[in-house]
Amino acid sequence: MSGASDTHNLITMNTSTALYNQLSDRGCRIYASDMRVGISTGVSYFYPDIAVTCDKPHFEDDVFDTLINPQIIIEVLSDSTAGYDRGEKFIRYRQLESLQEYVLISQDQVLVEHYLRQGERWILSEFSTLEDVLPLASIETELPLRQIYRFVEFETDASLETTVGTG
């Protein structure tokens, strides 16, 4: 998706930078936005916001532009993509044998949805405060939500603040 918002870009950059800083010495690859991920060789292609592999990267062909073995895929949600990212796209991503974790990050509020593969099942955990820390078990690292949302400013509902402030 081209032309993403300021918030989308901040979250993507914050997250990919934090992952890079923690994982680059371990040989992990962090790909942001422009690395295509292929599913079922030639059937489906997606451009996730972030793809991570700590294994040797495998590509669809010798052009090296289609990763086929991400361990983690991260999508930053927008109003126009949230339903698709949670639905059809996640159904397709689950076909990747290498995929162990799928992370959805809201850009409208502090909310991270983390899906962890447990055999044939996917277990959902949600994180919703800046004090929370997102565990990424498959690559043995953690991401503080405060780091993911660094510099992000959320719109507030003035009427709600007034109501809460007068109570």
Widest CA span in the chain: 64
Give this prediction's pTM: 0.88
At 119-135, the pLDDT tens digits run 999 999 999 999 999 99
CA dist 40 → 34, 67, 71, 82, 118 (Å): 19, 11, 16, 23, 21
What SS3 class is residue 88? helix
- Mind listing the pLDDT tens digit for each residue in 20-71? 999 999 999 999 878 888 887 667 888 899 999 999 988 888 777 888 889 9
Q: Cα separation of 126 and 139, whole Å?
A: 19
- Identify which of 124, 71, 135, 123 has the alpha carbon closest to the alpha carbon of residue 97: 71
3-state secondary structure 61-79: CCCCCEECCCCEEEEEECC
How many CA atoms within 13 Å lie on the side-chain side of 95?
14
Structure tokens at 111: 């909310």
User: In whole angstroms, what is the distance from residue 92 CA to residue 82 CA?
Assistant: 15
Q: So what's the architecture of 6-166 in CATH? A: Alpha-Beta Complex (3.90)
